[in-house]
A and B are shown apart, each in its own frame.
Chain A
Amino acid sequence: MSQSVDVSIEYFAQFRELAGVSTERIATAATDAASLYQELASGHGFELPQSDVKVAVNDEFVDWAYQLKTGDTVVFIPPVAGG
């Protein structure tokens, strides 16, 4: 039986505009950050390949293999442009 986890997603910059929301809570069957990105990218029309995106969970950078837990807050980080 497949289990799902409940996570919050925060969106910034072009991802926020494409998603049409700043945050959302979802139940996902994705087990790691990479599969969650694939799921959301196809749902929201994110065209950036995963290799150009970074991911943070609970306000720290993590690897794409990060195993999602219920209650996590996930942020996908498109190429940065500070300064």
Chain B
Amino acid sequence: MFEIVDHDIDPQALTASLGHPSCGGFVSFEGWVRNHNEGREVAGLYYEAYEALAVKEGNRIIAEAMERFAIRLAGCQHRTGELGIGGIAVWVGVSSDHRDAAFQACRYIIDEIKGRLPIWKKEMYVNGETEWVDCRECAKHAHAHRTDESI
């Protein structure tokens, strides 16, 4: 299940929700707020989401991962609002019978989430300036990554 939340993400609770007696592997990814980007000192991030569409598209991405990879359960949460350095902006978890599928599905979900969900981030810099992150370049990187995989 995909969710947008405006409170702290709780990885322990999310991990517990993906337990399954048939699963021998669990992989998770956490996206953290870092203190620098493109050479600028970052103090924090502000996330804004078009929630109705982001939730539909997030659940479509999870359904795609369930179809493409031999996994049992998958879940994802994405934050909105303000986060400080080290805060968890996004969490993805996947459980599967064997580890390969969990690694692949986790990578698939985070890449698609970054490229497709109507979510935006504003960087708040140490010098007091703010700027919406223009991710047209990130989208190209993600596309290149997917193209590499298909070769």
Contacts and interface: CB of A to CB of B under 8 A. Distances in A.
Interface string B112-151: 0111111111100000000011111011000000000000
Nearest to A13: B120
Given A54-B118, A59-B53, A78-B120, 9 more contacts: A12-B120, A59-B52, A75-B50, A79-B139, A81-B120, A81-B134, A81-B135, A82-B47, A83-B113
A77 B116 CA distance: 11
Interface of B: 31, 47-50, 52-54, 56, 78, 89-90, 110, 113-122, 132-136, 138-139
**A contact residues, range:** 10 to 19
A14 B132 CA distance: 7
A65 interface: no
A79 to B, nearest CB: 5
Contacts of A78: 120, 132
Contacts, number: 71
A13 to B, nearest CB: 4
A80 interface: yes
Contacts of B31: 83
9 contacts: A13-B120, A56-B53, A75-B118, A77-B50, A77-B118, A79-B139, A80-B135, A81-B132, A82-B54
A33 to B, nearest CB: 15
Contacts of A81: 119-121, 132-135, 138
A16 B31 CA distance: 26
Contact of A82 (B114, B122, B134): B114
